[in-house]
Amino acid sequence: MGKIDGKVAFITGAARGQGRSHAVRLAREGADIIAVDTTAKVDSVPYSLATAEDLAETVRQVEETGRRIVAREADVRDSAALADAVAEGVGKLGRLDIVLANAGISSPAPTLEMSDETWQDMIDINLTGVWKSLKASVPHVIKGGRGGAVVITSSLAAIYANPNTAHYSAAKAGLVMLMKVLAKELAPHSIRVNTVHPTTVATDMILNDATYRLFRPDLESPTRAEFEEAARTLNRLPVAVLEPADITNAILYLVSDDAKYVTGTTQVIDAGGSI
């Protein structure tokens, strides 16, 4: 018996990293999955984004659990593509109970020097893209009439300020009030809405040269080990980065009956970084 047997979860940014971790773990706990991600290039992002092969690997790992998955390429900036992907998934899997708005990017830059494109891409993906993802999916949860759960991936950056992250922090902080408003609106439908706020997590969005330089501006070409030296100082617990599974554990709690009365909250998984 899994914690979410027979339910269906829609996950954005599911091709790799936290999204893949969430998809596979929820499948192991009994859920079928609707997974989306995009291979579209975002010029302002200084690292490689997901590939079709990445999404195919998520499909393979979910199917290995014995659960079903409908995976489609869809950019969270594209409302029509999101709506089509969710509708296809619900049509094939029969319902929707859980929404994980996980997709996001990082593009560190000084506040007054970043390009208009860098700012706008961030807001379009990390804030507006979440709203579009919810707009495409949550009505299906409401229509099911069984209640449900929505978890939005925010960040420690919504709580604790670091230089060169104004656009990222603004988007992630905006998600908190989006969550709180939606939690009030959806409460009559027994749909719970919460945010999770991770510190640095060992994914491609973090493990790249741009992030290493963000954490070690004193070095020209910092290594991962040198990045981890700085990252470790931000956390009070003796750890440099969390693993995607650490965030998945919190999300599984939030979408299961273990958290059946938890809504409108900010769940911080930061190794003490916000203290």
Residues identified as active-site: 168
CA angle, corner 2, sides to 187 and 63, nearest 5? 105
Distance in angstroms (rounded) separating the CA atoms of residues 8 and 137: 11
Distance in angstroms (rounded) separating the CA atoms of residues 157 and 107: 13
Give the residue ranges of DSSP H helices in the chain.
17-28, 52-64, 79-93, 116-122, 129-144, 166-186, 209-215, 224-234, 244-255
Burial (CB < 10 A; 0-12, 13-18, 19+), residue 152, is: buried
Distance in angstroms (rounded) separating the CA atoms of residues 35 and 66: 16
Q: Are 21 and 244 in contact (CB under 8 A)?
A: yes
Tokens of 274: 């916000």
Distance in angstroms (rounded) separating the CA atoms of residues 101 and 180: 15
Distance in angstroms (rounded) separating the CA atoms of residues 199 and 50: 21
The H or E element containing residue 72 is: strand 69-73
For residue 36, the SS3 value is strand
Give the residue ranges of DSSP H helices in 106-215.
116-122, 129-144, 166-186, 209-215
